[in-house]
């Protein structure tokens, strides 16, 4: 396939739509979505006005962690279809003007990967050093105190090698040893395979987990844990992760990765940075200078906090620290509770939260990423314990219910069996509360969440100031977020009322709005220099 066409800088300010293939559209009746299903529903994605789709893993896998445990980096798992299905998906996306970004899970493989089978066979084989192996302590204990994100020690004893291997996640996901150049070479060869098939970019899963400390030093506790005041469900958060991730050696590997991408015109990368204390520093290091990643996203906007003060604090912090780098903002993804459920207030309308949130996101400086179903205003689904498929949720139930609640199948047609997702029993149950939000119901309603998403994304795409312009915040009410976006001859003012009460907000002196953008029933009123904002209301205007 040929090189990616068009603007090589397309990723800067783009809107990405994340597809979780297993829950998008099933075409075989086995209850799990597939690549043909994504192709079949490509019209829906294109109708939103996004620039690219991001496909969560579809590679060959035992599915211990729903495809994030890869057993073959260059093969499509049969549950998702064939390589021909993937090629057809890329062709259809490109025909509709959409870029295709695929997940790359490089930090670890499945324990069923051929590399690991060879590595664990003995200590002298050619791949003996391809994973993070370590001897037991004299008492038989693990080499250090590192913990798995999914619970328990990050070390698993292997009875064949009589050593421990490291796993940041499941024991079935052994970590690769990036200190070995051969490992890096093999992974970059896999990346090149997909570049040759025409993909436009890569989302790098857990991009700051690639390297670990060479000396395997133990992590210290966080201050709250040391003081006995921490209240986290997951003990992973009790540690300050100084040595098991975010190591400086990663910078050189990311240079190698970028050099490979730069051999192909118009390709881009976005890294997922999971770092509780150093996310700003890590994003700055990974994206500045044009030598490593194009952009990164963190979990700053994927938590409970959603206020004018918090959003301003996070954005301004990135603007100061990241400098010439680039950020990708997201409010939801496949790992967190859907944002309308996180941010709705008691008695508040879910649709109002959904519309408000996409308007804020659509006006932020950076690229933006949407997660399938949020354009329908889908809430977090309640999943019974016996229906859980997520090992993370099963491990920490009931203190933490896992990620299945945001991974339930898409609802396409309100009257169809299984909402049009599958003719068979879906792999996760479809929430009855989602049925009334089906795509076919919302498509014909100008007041729907889906219509609002399309309107906001169309406005964003049509305004250079929103795509690549600068951002400057305006002081005022603590519950009102206000800023200018400016690019060349265009200057916009964006104002958002995060409170549950009506607010009056005055434009800065000398600001004259000569064009207002209508964004629905909660759009604010401008009278002279004063804007009246309803609860969860917003105002967007073009300034002289």
Give the catalytic positions in this structure: 205, 263
Burial of 282 (C-beta count, 10 Å sphere; 0-12/13-18/19+):
buried
Distance CA(270)–CA(283), nearest Å, equals 10
CA distance 321 to 315: 10
For 383-396, the DSSP string reads: --GGG---HHHHHH
Q: Is 510 exposed, middle or buried (0-12, 13-18, 19+ CB in 10 A)?
A: exposed
DSSP codes, 162-210: TEEEE-SS-TTSPBB-TTSHHHHHHHHHHHHHHHHTT--EEEETTGGGS
Cβ proximity of 264 and 239 under 8 Å? no
Are the beta carbons of 285 and 323 closer than 8 angstroms? no
* Helix, strand, coil % in the chain, rounded to nearest 5: 30, 20, 50
**What DSSP state is assigned to residue 123?**
S
Strand partners, 158: 163
Closest alpha carbon to 274 in 246, 255, 294: 246
Distance, CA of 163 to CA of 229 (rounded, Å): 35
Separation between Cα atoms, residue 418 and residue 24, nearest integer Å: 12
Instruction: Determine which helix (DSSP H) or strand (DSSP E) holds 352, and give its type and residue range.
Output: helix 350-363
First CA to last CA across the chain, in angstroms?
46
**C-alpha–C-alpha distance, residues 123 and 62, integer Å:** 25
Any residues with CB less than 8 A from the CB of 224 and at least 6 apart, and which? 230
Element (H, E) at 471: strand 470-473
Contact of 53 with 94, CB cutoff 8 Å: no
Q: At what angle do helices 181-196 and 250-261 cross, to 10 degrees?
A: 30
Quick one: which of 9, 238, 61 has its CA closest to 145? Answer: 238
**Coil, helix or strand for 505?**
strand
Alpha-carbon 494 to chain mean position:
25
Q: Contact 430/419 with Cβ under 8 angstroms? A: yes
């Amino acid at each position: 396939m040929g090189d990616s066409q068009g603007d090589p800088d397309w990723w800067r300010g783009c809107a990405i739509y994340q597809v979780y293939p297993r829950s998008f559209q099933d075409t075989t009746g086995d209850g799990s979505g597939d690549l043909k299903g994504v192709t079949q529903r490509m019209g829906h994605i294109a109708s939103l006005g996004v620039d690219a789709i991001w496909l969560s893993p579809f590679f060959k896998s035992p599915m211990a962690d729903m495809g994030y445990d890869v057993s073959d980096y260059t093969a499509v798992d049969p549950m998702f279809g064939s390589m021909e299905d993937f090629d057809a998906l890329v062709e259809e996306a490109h025909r509709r003007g959409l870029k295709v970004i695929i997940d790359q899970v490089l930090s670890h493989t499945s324990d069923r990967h051929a590399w690991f089978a060879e590595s664990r066979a003995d200590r002298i084989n050619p791949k003996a050093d391809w994973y993070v192996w370590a001897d037991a302590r004299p008492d038989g204990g693990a080499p250090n105190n590192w913990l798995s994100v999914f619970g328990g020690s990050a070390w698993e004893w292997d009875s064949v090698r009589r050593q421990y291997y490291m796993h940041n996640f499941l024991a079935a996901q052994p970590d690769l040893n990036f200190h070995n150049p051969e490992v890096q070479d093999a992974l970059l060869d896999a990346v090149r395979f997909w570049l040759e098939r025409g993909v436009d970019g890569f989302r790098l899963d857990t991009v700051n987990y690639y390297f670990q400390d060479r000396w395997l030093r133990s992590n210290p506790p966080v201050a709250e844990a040391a003081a006995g005041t921490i209240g986290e469900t997951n003990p992973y958060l009790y540690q300050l992760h100084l040595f098991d991730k975010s190591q400086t050696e990663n910078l050189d590997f990311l240079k190698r990765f970028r050099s490979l991408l730069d051999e192909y015109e118009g390709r881009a990368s976005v890294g997922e940075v999971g770092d509780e204390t150093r996310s700003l520093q890590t994003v700055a290091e990974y994206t500045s200078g044009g030598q490593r990643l194009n952009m990164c996203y963190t979990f700053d906007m994927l938590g409970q906090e959603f206020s004018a003060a918090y959003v301003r604090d996070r954005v301004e912090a990135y603007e100061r620290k990241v400098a010439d780098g680039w950020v990708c903002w997201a409010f939801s993804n496949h790992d967190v509770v859907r944002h309308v459920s996180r941010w709705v207030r008691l008695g508040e309308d879910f649709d109002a939260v959904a519309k408000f949130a996409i308007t804020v996101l659509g006006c932020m400086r950076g690229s933006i990423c949407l997660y399938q179903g949020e354009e329908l205003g889908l809430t977090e689904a309640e999943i019974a314990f016996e229906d859980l498929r997520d090992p993370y949720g099963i491990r920490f139930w009931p203190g933490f219910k896992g990620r299945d609640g945001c991974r339930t199948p898409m609802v396409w047609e309100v009257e169809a069996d299984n909402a049009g997702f599958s003719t068979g029993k879906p792999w996760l149950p479809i929430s009855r509360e989602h049925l009334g939000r089906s795509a076919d119901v919302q498509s014909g309603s100008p007041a729907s969440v889906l219509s609002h998403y399309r309107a906001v994304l169309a406005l964003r795409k049509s305004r250079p100031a929103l795509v690549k312009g600068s951002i400057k915040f305006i002081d005022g009410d603590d519950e009102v977020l206000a800023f200018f976006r400016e690019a060349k001859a265009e200057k916009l003012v964006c104002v958002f009322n995060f409170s549950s009460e009506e607010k009056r907000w005055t434009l800065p002196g000398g600001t004259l709005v000569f064009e207002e953008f209508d964004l629905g029933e909660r759009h604010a009123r401008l009278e002279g220099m004063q804007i009246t904002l309803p609860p969860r209301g917003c105002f967007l205007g073009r300034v002289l």
